[in-house]
């Protein structure tokens, strides 16, 4: 191919080929097979919208990549260069700029060849090199697991996408061609790549409004992930398609005729739901194929948004609309910029008709999404997906800043990639789009991080409602904040948006760290006492030496690991003492002083749910990696399995004047009399105890067992409650429930 190009230039000429040379190359290379034919078809496609010098830059990238990939083959047996050329051709179909096409051709040279990023900078400039680096995996870093490697590579790619959205377009085109050629891989690898495509890349394409790419990615992913289900559904669709054709044509003709009578111009198209969406509907709604496929779908494309609404009225006068099935995505676009009117009608054939009404510009945007910025240069609608994409990228950056690690970041992004939306209003009438199932807390964080952190209550449609209330379409939501209010760990049980979840977690991690440092200092001081030392008396040089050995940056990091149970305080204390003694083996001075539990240690001291220890109980502490100290009563049956691990036990006791309230379980046998539950609950409440949960089981027709979980201050408080309940007439027996 290089000789072919050279033959088109005058002898002794070192200048770049002219446009005439490019045309000659296209003519000659088009006759050949292999990479020459591939690049010729690509260049011919680029001719329709790029400048000659830009096309020649693309060809230069091809020469560079072909040389870098020399000798490499795909598993299918074809030369490796065929893949980057195919990726470039997909992007050329979207009419992306020449830098994107160049980067697509070079996208594997950093990852799969000895080529360095700096070489690309020198040859093609900083912009192209950054695009290539954005889609390249981290091959020089070793990870503890495949999941961590995948997550870290995903995070790298997404952050590159935040800087330049073309990174994800190149990656999606790369994934699309890989899915088209998946047959050469082992079945297990096919399934792994298919799952990743269905869980991550197809949803990203959807989030960017690229419907055509999403549909193809899902179709290939479905066939590779579930080949038998795909085959059965395909066969079923082919079988019924013939029977449907006549009805589809009749409905299409009826709609077209009514439109003509009304003097409105519009194009009516029958459309078929793609296989994966049918499969998803069958799964989610537990419907047989017949019920899902018995829905006729049509699209009506008109000239203006005003005509869309007029067309809606025409169709509603032709066939009766199904109540509650109309959606206006023109007034309120989807999160990815999609706009259309959706309605469902009763047909005369006994089956529903789904209809989408949109303008030609809306149709282009619906199919190409964010790529419509390059594909269609006219019309204001093409900027809508760009605006929504920028909003999403801003949210991604915020998720990344709050995520503790790459796996957590991937989890948050996955949550945001499935936004079956709900639309709510602010008190000023502004529309916010949230994921289906979002709560008032999710709304608060969508407004602003500070609003979320400080929210204490919510008004939904001007009525006070709990913060965990699920929001519905059209509701007006107002968040009430208070100075000094802080995020509640319980919110994690019901928030659904990635932003809310990551922000709450980030806040709790900060608290967790501070609490772990404080507990770690107490534990280390307790162990250092055995050597007549304390944290404040440790020489800086010896401490620095130990931190370097443990690969830790600061003393606080070491104390946090001790507090979380990831390092044992006695071992750290012994190591420090021996360093001070010049390496001499030391025996600790025995000490029987237990660690005092104050009740204010936060999340690094937890209370076992099996025995529910409360102040006044005799207790033991078990050091659990990642959780800190878990407190059990000393007679807890679950301690038996830990008895053989004495190094993880710590002697603890309750401090005088312990703060807080602690859960405890009470079981009582009562007579089945009206009002007994209310009487017991009133007695508990009268003694300033809170009821967290109540379970009831009927033992026979006359008696029931009640299981209360209540919060108490200590054993004295509990004893007072038990005495009060024993005095109730219909309570026959009451005991504290422990393992």
Tell me the CATH number at 155. 1.10.3210.10
Q: Are residues 244 and 152 in the same domain?
A: no
| Angstrom distance (rounded) from CA 416 to CA 394 | 13
Q: What is the CATH number of the domain that holds 716?
A: 3.30.70.260
Q: Are residues 155 and 60 in the same domain?
A: yes
Q: Are residues 265 and 160 in the same domain?
A: no
* Three-state secondary-structure class, residue 359: strand
| Angstrom distance (rounded) from CA 421 to CA 437 | 9
pLDDT in tens, 135-151: 876 444 444 556 666 66
Contact 15, 52 (CB under 8 A): no
pLDDT in tens, 660-687: 788 899 999 888 888 888 889 889 888 8
Q: Are residues 256 and 153 in the same domain?
A: no
441 inside domain: no
Contacts of 76 (CB under 8 A, 6+ apart): 181, 183, 184
| Neighbour-count burial of 278, counting CB atoms closer than 10 A to its CB (0-12 exposed, 13-18 middle, 19+ buried) | buried
* Amino acid 407: pLDDT: 65
CA nearest neighbour of 667 among 696, 707, 704: 707
669 inside domain: yes
* Amino acid 228: pLDDT: 92
Q: Are residues 6 and 85 in the same domain?
A: yes
Among 158, 180, 202, the domain boundary falls at 180
Among 322, 352, 384, the domain boundary falls at 384
Q: Are residues 339 and 239 in the same domain?
A: yes
* Amino acid 400: pLDDT: 61
Q: Are residues 24 and 163 in the same domain?
A: yes
Q: Are residues 147 and 240 in the same domain?
A: no
Contact 299, 358 (CB under 8 A): yes
218 inside domain: no
The three-point CA angle 620-621-622 to 5° equals 125
Tally of domains in the chain:
3
503 inside domain: no
- Whole-Å CA distances, 8 to 24, 31, 656: 7, 16, 94
The end-to-end CA distance of the chain, in Å, is: 79
* Amino acid 652: pLDDT: 84
H-run or E-run covering 120: helix 117-124
Q: Residues of the chain whose pLDDT is less than 70?
A: 1-36, 137-151, 153, 155-156, 158, 161-162, 242-243, 293-294, 372-420, 579-593, 600-604, 625-627, 641-644, 646-647, 699, 701, 739
| Angstrom distance (rounded) from CA 519 to CA 535 | 13
Q: What is the CATH number of the domain that holds 242?
A: 3.30.460.10
Rg (CA), the chain: 34
3-state SS record for 9-45:
CCCCCCCCCCHHHHHHHHHHHCCCCCHHHHHHHHHHH
Q: Are residues 28 and 172 in the same domain?
A: yes
Q: Are residues 15 and 149 in the same domain?
A: yes
Q: Are residues 73 and 153 in the same domain?
A: yes
For residue 312, give its domain range: 234-384
| Angstrom distance (rounded) from CA 86 to CA 42 | 8
- Whole-Å CA distances, 321 to 244, 267, 472, 494, 705: 21, 20, 22, 35, 53
- Whole-Å CA distances, 94 to 38, 90, 364, 374: 17, 7, 11, 7
315 inside domain: yes
Q: How many CB atoms lie within 10 A of CB 490?
A: 11
Positive or negative, the CA dihedral 602, 529, 626, 607 is: negative
Among 384, 413, 438, the domain boundary falls at 384
* Amino acid 388: pLDDT: 65
DSSP character at residue 418: -
Q: Are residues 175 and 305 in the same domain?
A: no
Looking at the annotation, which residues are catalytic? 111-112
285 inside domain: yes
587 inside domain: no
Strand pairing class (352-359; 731-737):
unpaired
DSSP character at residue 463: E
* Amino acid 4: pLDDT: 39
703 inside domain: yes
């Amino acid at each position: 191919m290089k000789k072919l190009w050279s033959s088109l230039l005058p002898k002794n000429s070192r200048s770049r080929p002219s446009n005439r040379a490019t045309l000659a190359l296209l003519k000659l290379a088009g006759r050949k097979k292999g990479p020459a034919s591939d690049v010729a078809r690509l260049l011919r496609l680029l001719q329709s919208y790029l400048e000659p010098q830009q096309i020649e830059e693309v060809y230069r990238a091809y020469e560079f990549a072909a040389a870098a990939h020399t000798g490499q083959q795909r598993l299918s047996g074809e030369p490796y260069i065929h893949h980057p050329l195919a990726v470039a051709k997909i992007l050329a179909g979207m009419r992306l700029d020449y830098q994107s096409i160049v980067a697509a051709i070079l996208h594997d040279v950093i990852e799969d060849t000895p080529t360095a990023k700096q070489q690309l900078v020198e040859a093609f400039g900083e912009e192209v090199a950054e695009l290539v680096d954005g889609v390249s995996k981290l091959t020089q870093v070793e990870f503890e697991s495949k999941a961590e490697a995948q997550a870290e590579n995903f995070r790298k790619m997404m952050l590159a996408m935040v800087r330049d959205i073309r990174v994800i377009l190149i990656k999606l085109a790369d994934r699309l061609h890989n899915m088209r050629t998946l047959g050469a891989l082992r079945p297990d690898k096919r399934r792994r790549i298919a799952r990743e495509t269905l869980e991550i890349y197809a949803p990203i394409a959807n989030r960017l409004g690229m419907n055509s790419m999403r549909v193809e990615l899902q179709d290939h992913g479905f066939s590779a992930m579930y080949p038998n289900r795909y085959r059965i559904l395909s066969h079923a669709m082919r079988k019924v398609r013939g029977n449907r054709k006549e009805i589809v044509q009749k409905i299409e003709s009826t709609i077209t005729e009514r439109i003509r009578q009304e003097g409105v111009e519009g194009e009516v198209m029958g459309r078929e739901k793609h296989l994966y969406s049918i499969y998803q509907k069958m799964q989610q709604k537990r419907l047989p194929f017949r019920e899902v496929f018995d829905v006729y779908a049509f699209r009506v494309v008109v000239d203006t948004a005003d005509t869309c609404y007029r067309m809606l009225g025409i169709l509603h006068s032709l066939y009766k609309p199904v109540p509650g099935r109309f959606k206006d995505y023109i007034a309120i676009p989807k999160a990815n910029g999609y706009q259309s009117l959706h309605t469902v009608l009763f047909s005369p054939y006994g089956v529903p008709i789904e209809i989408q009404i949109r303008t030609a510009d809306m149709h282009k945007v619906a199919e190409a999404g964010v790529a419509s910025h390059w594909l269609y240069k006219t019309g204001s609608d093409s900027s809508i997906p760009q605006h929504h994409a920028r909003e999403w990228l801003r949210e991604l950056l915020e998720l990344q800043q709050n995520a503790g690690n790459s796996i957590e970041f991937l989890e948050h992004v996955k949550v945001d990639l499935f936004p079956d939306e709900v639309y709510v209003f602010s008190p000023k009438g502004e529309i916010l789009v949230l994921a289906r199932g979002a709560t008032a807390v999710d709304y608060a964080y969508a407004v602003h991080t500070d609003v979320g952190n400080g929210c204490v209550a919510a008004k939904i449609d001007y009525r006070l409602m709990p913060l965990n209330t699920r929001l519905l379409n059209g509701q007006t939501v107002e968040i009430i904040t208070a100075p000094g209010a802080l995020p509640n760990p319980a919110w994690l049980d019901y928030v659904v948006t990635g932003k809310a979840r990551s922000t709450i977690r980030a806040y709790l991690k900060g608290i967790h760290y501070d609490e772990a440092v404080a507990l770690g200092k107490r534990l280390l001081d307790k162990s250092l006492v055995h050597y007549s030392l304390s944290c404040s008396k440790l020489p800086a040089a010896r401490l620095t030496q130990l931190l370097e050995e443990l690969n830790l940056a600061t003393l606080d990091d070491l104390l946090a690991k001790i507090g979380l149970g990831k390092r044992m305080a006695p071992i750290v204390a012994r190591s420090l003492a021996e360093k001070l003694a010049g390496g001499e083996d030391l025996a600790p001075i025995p000490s029987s002083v237990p660690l005092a539990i104050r009740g204010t240690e936060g999340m690094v001291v937890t209370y076992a749910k099996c025995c529910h220890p409360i102040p006044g109980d005799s207790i033991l502490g078990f050091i659990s990696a990642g959780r800190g100290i878990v407190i059990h009563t000393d007679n807890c049956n679950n301690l038996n399995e830990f008895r053989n691990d004495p190094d993880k036990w710590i002697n603890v006791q309750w401090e005088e004047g312990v703060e807080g309230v602690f859960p405890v379980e009470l079981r009582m046998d009562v007579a089945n009399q009206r009002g007994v539950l209310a009487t017991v609950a009133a007695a508990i409440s009268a003694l300033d105890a809170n009821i967290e949960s109540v379970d009831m089981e009927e033992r026979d027709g006359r008696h029931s067992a009640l299981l209360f979980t209540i919060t108490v201050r200590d054993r004295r408080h509990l004893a007072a409650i038990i005495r009060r309940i024993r005095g109730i007439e219909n309570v026959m027996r009451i005991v504290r429930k422990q393992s």
